[in-house]
Amino acid sequence: MGILEVQNVNKRFGGLQALDDVNLNVEEGTVHAIIGPNGAGKSTLLNCFVGRLTPDTGTVMFNGQSLIGRKPHEINQMGVSRVFQTPEIFSDLTILENVMIPSFAKRDGAFKLSPFAAVKAESAIRDHAEEMLGQVGMLEKRNMIASAMSRGDKRRLEMAMCLAQDPKLLLLDEPTAGMARADTNATIDLLKQIADTRPITFVVIEHDMHVVFSLADRISVLAQGHVIVEDDPQNIKGNPKVREAYLGDAHDD
Amino acid sequence: MFGSKISDSMLMILFVIVVALVPLLAAPFGAGYPALMQFFAIFGIFAIGFNILFGLTGYLSFGHAAFLGVGSYSAVWMFKLLSMNVLPALFLSVIIAGLFALVIGFVSLRRSGIYFSILTLAFAQMSYKLAYSVLTPITNGETGLQLALDDPRILDGERVAGQLPSPTFFGLDMNATTDVAVLGMDVQLNVGYFFSAAFLVLAFWIAMRIFRSPFGLMLKAVKTNQNRLNYTGVNTRPYTLAAFVISGMYAGLAGGLLACMDPLAGAERMVWTASGEVVLMTILGGAGTLLGPIIGASVIKFAEAKLSKFNENVVEAWFSFLPEGLGDSIAFVVAKFVGDGWHLTLGLVFMLVVTFLPGGLVEGARRIGGYLGRRGHKGDLDKLGSNVQGGKSTTAE
């Protein structure tokens, strides 16, 4: 029994069958990569996990509870965090505030009316946020306004924001898209370190095969809205179906 | 004062001192008379409340005058039915305005951006029209709701026959004014002003606490990235609704205070230009800042009182030293910007501020402060950098 179980999920946009009978089983504590060519439905699938989209049919179970019909904030409160393809951060606020907000959300729930409490006095929340910033190597920048940062830093900040919630499941949508090789390797190291030290399950959508084969314990290959193979990395590499659908001309090694 | 990092308690103390000294400070500018000073305080409260919604969450309401009007009507009804004491009147103003805000906010906040603005505008115009038509039994229509000699006023005892009572705070008449001569100036100490000023201080203190609270942080997060906040496990709807209701209660308090100073309420208080005015006040002073809305409210109320008084004759006198034809033509143009046309000046100033000082007058003051500070310590480069940072922050004073 996996932490995330997807069964017979279909999603249609007009004439396009974006997801075609998708089945997926993510084991707890693993890094599960979803790969596939452009337009294969990877992001659509991810959006079905976080409450942005509702599948037409099928079930999505997280820890034995259905995610269908739940709002994004409810799903997050269940322990599912998400890193976006383009970093979604609070760009007008400081980096420290950016990480304190998810900590408050974790502690106080979806809503708490506390107009007379002082952020300044919340030392536990602040310490926790600073610890997370330390983990991604951004502690010394904590008082900067987030919009002033580089794209790579924004990604690391978003990672720290998700980690601050201590999620059970962390969804990463192309965490290295548009990064230089050195930054990509740094991100891989960071993710590996988190995967090794914390009991977090990862679902990673990724284009970069270098990243996928460095991180993944298990890989699902999506093509035209359908999972064509789900297997271990070493088997994926040699699988002819995968080569045909995806690796054939995209693989540059 | 604006650029430097002073602590909140220092800011609070300075604020109280300045507010207490307004009768003295305003006197040299010819603004030291009760009606205008009361407006400074009351519209300051209105703008602080509006800023809690607009400045923190970014939701631009174009219907806040509705809550102001509701507050005024509630207060006058309390004066008519219960007592001329201002406390029950203000209490009802805040509660009723809060309930109104709860209903209007609940519906309007289902949309964001321009649709939210239009919804609030529609609700305010609806309230305005209703006050003129079907709700006439409550609002007394065009005449406006006024005190009458045969009002029950069940808590008040004996009354002077044939004379309308005025609102009091346990015997202190709101209209009572003591004149004091200071340095040859006539300083007017008005009970109504100090009473409103006490509420202004309270309103400012509450706003400051909200700005510094986790609740306020969430509101700022709504403004900068509501999508991220949803995916961070926060239900943004109750946060925005709470901000809407709080700012509606501030508007109700302001409306109640207006009625305490002058116990009548008319529907024109709810007209859409009145809603627009508080938007101007907040943006002119600096949306999202603590002091900005109060400064904006004072500047606009001061300009309104002064500029609208000038007429063509006054303007001609200013330019009489110029050659005949030139003086007349300049006076002709300038006269369009004063008197009834003072809104032209306001519009011009507003355009300039929005274009060159998007952070409002507070940002202007901060820039001047930063410039002077830089000249003061040229060597301190680190501090200079942090000053520039501070200028970009949305949350500083």
Residue B127 belongs to domain with CATH number = 1.10.3470
Instruction: Give the per-residue pLDDT at A246.
Output: 64
| Collapsed DSSP state (helix, strand, coil) of residue A173 | strand
> Which candidate from A92, A93, A120 shows the least CB-CB separation from B212?
A120
**CB B67 within 8 Å of CB B101:** yes
| Collapsed DSSP state (helix, strand, coil) of residue B17 | helix
Portion of chain B with pLDDT greater than 90, in percent: 55
For residue A101, what are its two tokens? Answer: 């907000």
**CB B42 within 8 Å of CB B207:** no
> Which candidate from A90, A93, A104 shows the least CB-CB separation from B214?
A104
**CB B236 within 8 Å of CB B41:** no
In a domain, B57, yes or no: yes
B189: which strand partners?
B178
- pLDDT tens-digit series, residues A78-119: 999 999 988 999 999 999 999 999 999 999 999 999 888 999
Instruction: Give the per-residue pLDDT at A92.
Output: 94
- pLDDT tens-digit series, residues B250-275: 999 999 999 999 998 988 889 888 99
Helix H or strand E encompassing A127: helix A123-135
Closest by Cα among A26, A81, A37, A61 to A218: A26
Closest by Cα among B62, B117, B51 to B288: B51
In a domain, B342, yes or no: no
Q: How far apart are CA A75 and CA A227, in angstroms?
A: 24
In a domain, B318, yes or no: no
Higher pLDDT, B68 or B319: B68
- Provide mean pLDDT across the span A171-178: 88
Interface of A with B (CB under 8 A): 50, 71-73, 76-77, 81-82, 84, 88-94, 97, 100-102, 104-106, 108-120, 122, 143-145, 148, 161, 165
Spatial neighbors of A81 by CB under 8 A, at least 6 apart, are A102, A162, A165, A167, A169, A170, A171, B231, B232
What does pTM read for this prediction?
0.90
* Confidence bin at A249 (pLDDT 50/70/90): low
* Confidence bin at B18 (pLDDT 50/70/90): very high
- Provide mean pLDDT across the span A185-206: 91
- Provide mean pLDDT across the span B57-62: 95
Instruction: Give the per-residue pLDDT at A243.
Output: 77
The size of the A-B interface in CB pairs under 8 A is: 113
In a domain, B275, yes or no: yes
Tell me the chain A residues in contact with residue B224 when contact means C-beta distances shorter than 8 Å: 90-93
In a domain, B126, yes or no: yes
- Provide mean pLDDT across the span B234-263: 96
Q: How far apart are CA A168 and CA A100, in angstroms?
A: 19
Instruction: Give the per-residue pLDDT at B160.
Output: 67
In a domain, B182, yes or no: yes
* Confidence bin at B384 (pLDDT 50/70/90): very low
* Confidence bin at B92 (pLDDT 50/70/90): very high
Domain extent at residue B209: 8-307+357-392
In a domain, B113, yes or no: yes
Show the domains of chain A with their CATH numbers.
Answer: 4-79+167-250 (3.40.50.300), 91-151 (no CATH)
Helix and strand numbers (H, E) in chain A are 10, 10
In a domain, B294, yes or no: yes
Its ipTM equals 0.91
* Confidence bin at A248 (pLDDT 50/70/90): low
Instruction: Give the per-residue pLDDT at B376.
Output: 63
Higher pLDDT, B116 or A244: B116
- How close is the nearest chain B Cα to the Cα of A103, in Å? 9
Task: Tell me how many domains chain B contains.
Answer: 1
Q: Check whether B392 has a pLDDT greater than 90.
A: no
Across B307-311, B358-362, B366-370, least confident range: B307-311
CA A242 from centre of chain: 23
Query: To which residue do tokens 């008084």 refer?
Result: B309
Q: Check whether A180 has a pLDDT greater than 90.
A: no
- pLDDT tens-digit series, residues B328-351: 888 888 888 888 888 888 889 889
- Provide mean pLDDT across the span A186-206: 91
